[in-house]
Amino acid sequence: MAYENLLYECKDRIGTITVNRPERLNALNVRTIQELAAVLSEAAEDQGVRVLIVTGAGEKAFVAGADINELAQMTPVSGRETALRGQAVFHKLETLGKPSIAAINGFALGGGCELALACSIRLASRTAKLGQPEVKLGIIPGYGGTQRLARLCGKGVAHELCLTGEMISAEEAQRIGLVNHVYEPAELLPAAAAMAKKIATNGRFAVGLAMEAIARGADMPQEEGMAFEAALFGTCCATAEMREGTLAFLEKRAARFDDEDVSAASGAGNTDRQR
């Protein structure tokens, strides 16, 4: 599929999605949301993709928010439908079963901050600015910002960012737990790639189950979450990945995990493509 507002490439088991509207500070319009849905489906089906990196084109913005020209024309009905569509796409990213790393290279405001929140891990350039400024436009976050922000950073932080609409620095975002690490601008994408490579070399099935344990367990009482974790741990013990990982440790060598699923060999190889 040809993408108008995105760039997508996969190399060495790492897929990189770049929102490519630098003249609009990578603002999310309807077409971009549709293309995000399509590229996520492509990445989900490609067994050669182990990890995703999400970033923005240019030096100014990750994603600076929604397209205000479209936003200004919305009615109550179309506004709700737009929010639900965006929520569905970001939920797809969050539940893809493959880790995602947001490489926040500039403004991550409104929908941009919400896109980063839907990723598994967030890395930011020291020049990045993050926030949920929707109240300044007379609206509220619509792509999950009020929900994910409160769960990740707590209600106090969510109230402050969503009610004041103010931007915060990358360092402040790291302090409150919104981003994991902060890098100099030139170091951001190499750092994201290095982290993605570390994840991609681990067992794919184990990585997926760890993500499931964290995501689903966080919504359970702790005792139920521990039981769920134990069940998934038991599942791991039946896999070829577990046999290879433990044998490699005993033989004092690096584990050789491949693209073979526990239930069936996919045979998928690496791909290189640019759209």
DSSP of 88-115, one letter per residue? Answer: HHHHHHHTSSS-EEEEE-SEEETHHHHH
What's the CA angle centered on 165, arms 164 and 169, to 5 degrees?
Answer: 105
Active-site residue, selected from the candidate residues 134, 229, 241, 260: 134
**Helices and strands of the chain, counted as H and E runs:** 11, 10
Amino acid making up residue 7: L
Residue 125 structure tokens: 């350039």
Note the residue count of the chain: 275
CB-side neighbour CA atoms (13 Å) of 31: 10
C-alpha to C-alpha distances, 42 to 2, 35, 89, 94, nearest whole angstrom: 12, 10, 13, 15
- Indicate if 134 belongs to the active site: yes
Residue 168 structure tokens: 């915060």
CB contact at 8 A, 188 and 62: no
Burial 94-105 (b: 16+ CB within 10 A, else e): bebebbbbbbbb
d(CA 207, CA 256): 15
d(CA 227, CA 225): 5
Active-site residue, selected from the candidate residues 4, 35, 45, 114: 114
Active site positions, annotated: 114, 134
